[in-house]
Structure 1
Amino acid sequence: MANSPQSKKRARQADRRFAINKARRSRIRTFLRKVEEAIAAGDHDVAQAALTTAQPEMMRGVTKGVLHKNTVARKMSRLSSRVKALKA
């Protein structure tokens, strides 16, 4: 439990950041789910559009420190190859 004024402030800041990061992570997952659903449906055009909108959101998660750079790079690479395979 926070006792000093500074530790109380830090606890408030941590709660605020947690809520912001949680919302951003949830938003990223929503974008990824849209891509996954389009891939499962087999619709290349919708999947490509969903991936195009998901990429900037994922990179924003990297710059904000929510996700690691390599994690996002790996996910984007795998998703893009799966979307590309739909066209063939």
Structure 2
Amino acid sequence: MPITNLAFGYSKDPWTVYFAGQKIQGASATSFEVLNDGYAKDPWNVYYMGKKIEGASASSFQSLGQGMAKDAFNRYHLGQKYTGLTPPMHNFH
């Protein structure tokens, strides 16, 4: 079965999504979308470098570049909730 290379280490076949050759449990191959900077999502979950980001809202999630991202409820840096002050070089609006 052919595997399609996507981007940032993600790939998929018709039934399974992979990161760096390892299966991502629960990811939907038919709706999987690679965003930017290692972030990806399907309609139910958000992933960073193949790891599920617990509590992230897939419907509102956006990759902002330079490892930063946001959803309707939180901000993220390299896949982790960002709890510090917003760095002045990043725009979260």
TM-score normalised over the length of structure 1: 0.24
If the length of structure 2 is used for normalisation, what is the TM-score?
0.23
Higher helix share: 1
Query: If you compute each CA radius of gyration, which structure gives the higher value, 1 or 2?
Result: 1
Asked which structure has the greater RCO (Cα within 8 Å, sep 6+), the reply is: 1
